[in-house]
Amino acid sequence: MRAVFVGAGSLAVMTARLLLGRDHEVVIIERDKTRIDTLAEELDCGFLQGDGSKPALLREADPSKAKILFCLTDNDKTNILASLVGRSVGYSRVVTRIEDPEYEHLCIELGLEDAIIPARTIGRYLADMFEGRDHMELIAMLKDEARPFSFVAREEDEGPIEDLELPGGARVMFFYRNDSFKLPEPDTKLKKGDEVAVITHSKNLDRLHERWSGSE
């Protein structure tokens, strides 16, 4: 399988090295020719020089053969733009790195549900480790066809949760309002801007994505 990376920072290189070690194909798009020359001596992968947010360059990396497009530069806006362009030219899945948590809400609204905030992820992991929590317990719970899905409530979503008319096999598990974690009650009403977490059967994902990708 092929992975395409926009940016050749430490996170991208580390991930690429792991994938190459597992016999996957890797293509790295990077502006800096010197950086490419240095990495070419240690990584047996493809390189494209230029702006990874440009449609022509992303097409050259061949989205039809790529499993994931990783947008991992050190610039949040570049990563968001590259992710949107990548999706428009045919990448089936994009991962967007952001450092400023304020962009997270925007990413969700744009349908970039695979946005990652490395510093916060690592910080939360270390804090949970300190308290003796095991992240593998949650991963182990999502078996078979169970999948997570999240969206930002729009004006038309305001009202009782039961009025969302989710497909069978989908339930709202919790939501965030003004960064506060909340569990839904029978009479809970959503407000515009709430970040809603759903657990669903995998067969519903396309339908859910289509419904809430309208916020793009």
Question: Is 3.30.70.1450 the CATH number for 142-215?
Answer: yes
Residues 6+ apart with CB under 8 A from 78: 6, 7, 52, 53, 71
First to last CA, the chain: 29
**Is residue 121 very low, low, confident or very high in pLDDT (cuts 50, 70, 90)?**
confident
CA distances, 49 to each of 52, 90, 175 (Å):
8, 20, 41
* Total-model pTM: 0.65
List the alpha helices (DSSP H) in 89-185: 102-109, 118-130, 135-141
Query: Within the chain, which residue ranges are assigned CATH 3.30.70.1450?
Result: 142-215
Is pLDDT at 129 greater than 80 in this prediction? no
Question: What is residue 215's predicted lDDT score, i.e. its pLDDT?
Answer: 41
Q: Rounded to an integer, what distance in angstroms lies between the CA atom of residue 178 and that of residue 75?
A: 25
Residue 113 reports pLDDT greater than 90: no
Q: With respect to CATH, is domain 2-122 assigned 3.40.1360.10?
A: no
By percentage, how much of the chain surpasses pLDDT 90? 55
Where does the chain hold its CATH 3.40.50.720 domain(s)? 2-122
d(CA 68, CA 63): 9
